[in-house]
């Protein structure tokens, strides 16, 4: 399969035009544009397995037809490592009854640093025969393997992969757990991190971060401020972020397992939270807030909270909700920088970023 570079350039320009139009009412500057590799950019992939002619095949389904499988041998948008592993894994389950029996789904997670994990999902309990076969497979392929069946999980190796990303002249190491959110396009993620690092700049005050995930942005942004308070609701992501802070010797960051809405209540002194025990919110001199919310954007109360800060650094996976949030903030903050990150080439989806500064 070959990819048409001209078709990609046209699609990229269409996304830039869409973002430009959405931000035009707010006098936004021209967006910086960060493109993607045309192929092998996606670091994770999930496949159902479909039996045909006595064999199981990797399969995907279109959004319009969930009944007719599209059988797949290779997946060109996925990383080279995933494409290397796909036939090797298929050959392994074809040769092994313990690996193939009632196997219905396969998930791959890889990193730019070369790490890889495979999750095998089953409609049956996993026994010692499966464990022996999976242990050999993990060794043969040089990967970690997770076995999942109803209510159970078997881990061979690690239940995470390790990514390494270069930001601001420093290499950061990230533990990315199985089942937790990670940015799918590692190359563009690295570009996003560097853009945010430059946009924030060196500051002598503190940073509040909402929706911090596994600390993807927390690590490099913490090096730009006096200290950072970051929040995340997912326990898996919180544990990964704590490990990542420690692994990278980032000692000016504090992480709290609260939702953005809960932290808003805490800062507004609506009610106390036990999870904030020992953390003096009044000791922070917040000058900037960083947000990377889900597709729905920030809720109105959280959006109002961000208005308090001199700088709002906002990464968005949905330009429509980004524009709606900016409309709520436009009377007090202006857009100083904006960017379009093509995290999802060959789709209409895009990631964008803005830096808003108080008027």
pLDDT for res 93: 96
Distance between CA atoms of residues 287 and 227, nearest Å: 11
Distance between CA atoms of residues 28 and 35, nearest Å: 20
Q: Is 269 annotated as a binding residue?
A: no
Location of structure tokens 């906002």: 314
Distance between CA atoms of residues 290 and 220, nearest Å: 12
Q: Taking Cα atoms as reference points, which of 221, 166, 185, 256 lies closest to residue 42? A: 185
178 annotated active-site: no
pLDDT tens digits along 234-275? 998 999 999 999 999 999 999 999 988 898 889 888 888 999
Q: Is 183 annotated as a binding residue?
A: yes
User: What's the distance, CA 325 to chain centroid?
Assistant: 21
**SS3 letters for 204-242?**
CCEEEEECCCCCCCHHHHHCCCCCEEEECCCHHHHHHHH
pLDDT for res 261: 86
pLDDT for res 269: 86
Question: Is the separation of the CB atoms in 88 and 141 below 8 Å?
Answer: yes
pLDDT for res 272: 85
pLDDT for res 79: 98
Helix extents (H) in 36-146: 80-94, 97-100, 128-141
pLDDT for res 203: 97
Angle between helix 128-141 and 80-94 (nearest 10): 140
* DSSP-based helix, strand, coil % in the chain, nearest 5: 35, 30, 35
Q: Please tell me which residue in 121, 303, 317, 338 is annotated as part of the active site.
A: 317
pLDDT for res 1: 62
Beta strands in the chain (DSSP E): 32-34, 44-52, 55-62, 65-72, 103-110, 116-122, 144-149, 152-156, 160-167, 170-177, 206-210, 228-231, 253-256, 286-291, 311-316, 333-341, 351-358
- Token reading at 247: 């692994």
pLDDT for res 208: 97
pLDDT for res 271: 85
351 annotated active-site: yes
**Entry pTM:** 0.94
pLDDT for res 207: 98
Cβ neighbours of residue 299 closer than 8 Å, sequence gap 6 or more = 260, 261
Q: Please tell me which residue in 39, 178, 209, 351 is annotated as part of the active site.
A: 351
Question: Is the separation of the CB atoms in 338 and 28 below 8 Å?
Answer: yes
Q: Is 232 annotated as a binding residue?
A: yes
Residues of the chain with pLDDT under 70: 1
- Token reading at 15: 């996304």
List Cβ<8 Å contacts ≥24 apart for 16-20: 16/340, 18/319, 18/350, 19/319, 19/338, 19/340, 19/350, 19/352
pLDDT tens digits along 47-100? 999 998 888 999 999 888 888 999 999 999 999 999 999 999 999 999 999 999
Q: How many C-beta neighbours within 10 Å does residue 143 have?
A: 23
Measured in degrees and rounded to the nearest 5, phi and psi for residue 5 equal -65, -30
Q: Residue 272 to residues 203, 265, 327, 359: CA-CA distances in angstroms? A: 29, 8, 31, 32
Distance between CA atoms of residues 291 and 232, nearest Å: 11
Sheet of strand 333-341, all strands in order from the earlier edge strand to the far edge = 32-34, 333-341, 351-358, 311-316, 286-291, 206-210, 228-231, 253-256
DSSP type of residue 185? B
């Amino acid at each position: 399969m070959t990819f048409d570079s001209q078709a990609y350039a046209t699609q990229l320009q269409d996304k830039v035009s869409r973002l430009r139009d959405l931000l035009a009412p707010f006098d936004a500057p021209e967006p910086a544009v960060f493109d993607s590799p045309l192929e092998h950019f996606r670091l994770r992939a999930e496949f159902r397995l479909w039996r045909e002619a006595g064999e199981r095949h990797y399969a995907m389904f279109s959004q319009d037809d969930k009944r007719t499988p599209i059988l797949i041998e290779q997946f060109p948008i996925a990383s080279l490592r995933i494409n290397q592993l796909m036939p090797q894994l298929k050959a392994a389950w074809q040769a092994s009854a313990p690996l193939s029996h009632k196997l219905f789904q396969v998930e791959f997670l890889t990193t730019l640093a070369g790490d890889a994990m495979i999750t095998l999902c089953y409609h049956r309990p996993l026994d010692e025969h499966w464990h022996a076969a999976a242990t050999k497979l993990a060794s043969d392929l040089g990967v970690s393997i997770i076995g999942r069946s109803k209510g159970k999980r078997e881990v061979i190796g690690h239940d995470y992969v390790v990514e390494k990303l270069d930001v601001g002249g420093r290499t950061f190491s990230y533990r990315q757990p199985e089942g937790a959110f990670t940015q799918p396009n590692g190359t563009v993620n690295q570009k996003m991190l560097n853009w945010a690092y430059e946009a924030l700049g060196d500051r002598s005050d503190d940073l509040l971060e909402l929706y911090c995930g596994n600390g993807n942005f927390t690590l490099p942004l913490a090096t730009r401020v006096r200290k950072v308070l970051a929040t995340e609701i997912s326990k898996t992501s919180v544990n990964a972020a704590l490990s990542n802070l420690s692994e990278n010797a980032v000692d000016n960051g504090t992480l709290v397992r609260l939702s953005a809405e809960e932290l808003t209540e805490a800062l507004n002194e609506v009610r106390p939270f036990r999870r904030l025990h020992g953390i003096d919110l009044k000791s922070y001199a917040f000058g900037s807030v960083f947000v990377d919310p889900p597709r729905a954007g920030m809720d109105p109360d959280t959006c109002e909270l961000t208005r308090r800060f001199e700088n709002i650094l906002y990464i968005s996976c949905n330009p429509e909700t980004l524009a709606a949030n900016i409309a709520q903030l436009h009377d007090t903050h202006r857009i100083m920088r904006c960017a379009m990150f093509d995290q999802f080439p060959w789709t209409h989806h895009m990631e964008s970023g803005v830096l808003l500064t108080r008027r």
